[in-house]
Structure 1
Amino acid sequence: MVYHASDNCTAGSKNLYTFYFSVMIVEFILALPLNLTVIYLFIFKLKFWKNKSNNIFLFNLVLADILLLICLPVRAYYFQRGERRSNNDVLCNSVLFMLFLNRGASIAFLTIISIDRFLSVVHPGIKNPFKIRKRSVLISVLVWVLLLPLTIPSMLSTFECCDTSSNSTENIPTEVFRELVFFTPVLIPFIILVYCAVRITNRLKQKTVGDRTKLKRAVFLVILVVLVFSFCFWPSAISRLVLLVVRVQELPRAEEIAVQVYDGLMCLSYLDCLLDPIVYCLSSTKFKNLYISTYLPFLMKAQHAEHH
């Protein structure tokens, strides 16, 4: 039997994984209050279920980030111990399931928000399904329902190390499906996001008269989503591809390094729970003003003072 570094559940470099632990703890400390303040506004101030349909998608994006935050302390704890996973398979698989679910939901709702803005500014004459509140609720429910079976492959097979980089030749169909589940939600939405960004930008260039403010805001929003997407999800996807390649080619030393890089870039991907609130603010001027007036009222006073 060939030894694979990605089957090893202990950290290759304890100092490096202690650093990863520190990164995740900082992400958790910064993101938890931020997301709690955001979810409070959506529920108690905006009453998202009665308001604009776009707020329904934004609220679901907050839920996805909360799921991620539940997992971070557990994952960080084992990294600090010099382990890549929990010895408890149920806990390990549950954390992995939640991480996959968060990743899929974040990507799905970021993409939906961008498509919604694209349809509004590029095809204003077409009836936008995302603008109908009841349909927005239905779409959100469908996203979560579809994500559940797609996330199950992360728990289907037992393997020595409870990490998606572990593969066993005995379960090749399951492993192939798992990799498709990992890569497809990055590649296809990214193509859609880039398409939306290009079309909205072209629309802005063509509009020489009239109000260009809405178009400029839409361009900025979609480009921001592409940047958040690229920064959070592409590095981990590329590092995973490299890991799979060196694993197949049976290069033990390279695989050991690739495993550590992959784990580190997965820590980087968790930054989406910090960057998503920027998307909320740019998606809705009302939300931005509400957040500032509720939590940072001195900024509102400073703005009023400047105007007067």
Structure 2
Amino acid sequence: MENSSDADNNCQENIDKSRALYIFYSSVVGLEFILGILLNISVIHLFIFKLKFWKSKTIDIFLFNLVLADILLLIGLPVKAYNFQQCSENKVVCKVQLFLQFLNRGASIAFLTVISIYRYYSVVHPGRRKPLRILKRSPQISICIWVLLGILTIPAMLQSFIRCNSNEHDEEFNYVVLLREIVFFTQILIPFFVLVYCSIRIINRLIQRSVGDKTKLRRAMFLVTTVVLVFAVCFLPYAITRAVQLKMNGLVMKEEKVAVVKLYDGFLCLSYLNCLLDPILYCLSSSKFKKIYMSMYLPFLLEKQQPEISDDNADE
């Protein structure tokens, strides 16, 4: 393994060669932070002070936790933007940023998956009371998700040296690293297949139940399909390049590794876009929530809108 001074020199050399690219990455992350934090904070404000989510429907509690996870993930983005431009970092700050990234990205994906499963049973199997009764215990399920992910995130914090910058030297493989990578790929790939399955079944069920209301059907199908596409675009390229990066570790020339690292960092920036799109897809897709949101923050647009067919039932 390289010593720390050699790693810093290699990192600086790689950064200098791609200064413009990493400044662009840093700018993208900064923009995602500003837009995402404003949108998510405004949404969570409505959940707390207008909807009083703890007294609302089951799905509102899951949505609140989804937005909360996105906010906590966004908090670490300024550090990530800084690390895209610098090779040196405070190791304590680095570990905190990585903890936020692993924990809250996992929580965001977990709550997204639970919401899809809840909607699947509500639309496709409304008569199966036992699964719905379990899913309606949303406070207990939410606590279990946070606790479980907190435990699974511990391996990311146990390494004696944890990378904040992808341009640094290769990690020494051990069981902690293996466990961390298993958690990483599991929390992306399994939810993706669950989302695809639930979405296909929901669309088929909506088509069967449609009795002439084509507008509502199209909107519901568009929402379900968009959720899967956003997940695929944000997370699958990120996971695939991570797998390639791990496979190439120690097996190829330095220049090839640098090219994959640049691609990985670009897809990492893209993955943060999910935090910006979640509130739009899951909260503002509800006619009721959208009306409250726009009347409070964008009243000038509400006056121009035509009456809409409510799609709240398709959302749940």
Bin the TM-score by the shorter chain: 0.7 to 0.9
Q: Following the alignment from structure 1 to structure 2, what is the Cα–Cα distance between the partners of residues 182 and 163?
A: 17
Unaligned runs of 5+ in 1: none
Indicate whether 1:54 and 2:59 are aligned: yes
Could you tell me the TM-score, scaled by structure 2's length? Answer: 0.86
* Structure 2 CA distance for aligned equivalents of residues 162 and 136 of structure 1: 34
123-132 or 181-190: bigger deviation:
123-132
Alignment partner, residue 314 of structure 2: none
Name the aligned partner's letter for residue 61 of structure 1: L
Which residue of 55, 73, 79 maps to 1:74?
79
| Structure 2 residue 149 is the aligned partner of structure 1 residue 150 | no
Q: 1:63 aligns with which of 54, 68, 71?
A: 68
| Cα displacement (A) at 1:89 | 1.3
What do residues 227-257 of structure 1 show as CA deviations (whole Å, max 9, x unaligned)? 1211111111111111112214233211111
Q: Distance in 1 between matches of 2:177 and 2:287?
A: 44
Instruction: Call closer, same or farther: CA 1:130–1:19 in 2, change over 3 Å.
Output: farther
Kindly report the root-mean-square deviation, in angstroms, between the aligned alpha carbons of the 2 structures. Answer: 2.8
The number of residue pairs the alignment matches comes to 302
Is the 2:207–2:217 contact (alpha carbons within 8 Å) kept by the matching residues of 1?
Answer: no
Q: Taking structure 1 as reference, are residues 294 and 252 closer, same or farther at Cα in structure 2, changes over 3 Å only?
A: same
Shift in Å, 1:281: 3.3
Match of 2:311?
Answer: none
Contact 1:116 1:128 in 2 (8 A): no
Establish whether residue 27 from structure 1 lines up as the match of residue 32 from structure 2: yes
Unaligned runs of 5+ in 2: 309-316
- TM superposition score normalised by structure 1: 0.88
Say if 1:8 and 1:161, in contact at 8 Å, map to a contact too.
Answer: no
Matching residue of 1:17: 22
- 8 Å CA contact 2:107, 2:146 repeated in 1: yes
From 42, 58, 61, the counterpart of 1:37:
42
| Contact preservation (8 Å) 1:52, 1:133 | no
Q: How far did 1:15 drift?
A: 1.8
Identical pairs, percent = 58
Residues 231, 128 of structure 1: CA spacing in aligned structure 2 closer, same or farther, 3 A cutoff? farther
Residue of structure 2 equivalent to 1:273 = 275
Matched with 2:126 is 124
In structure 2, give the amino acid aligned to 1:142: C
Other-structure match for 1:235: 237
Q: Provide closer, same or farther for how the CA distance between residues 155 and 6 of structure 1 changes in structure 2, counting only shifts above 3 A.
A: farther
Q: For the Cα contact (< 8 Å) 2:242–2:264, is it kept in 1? A: yes
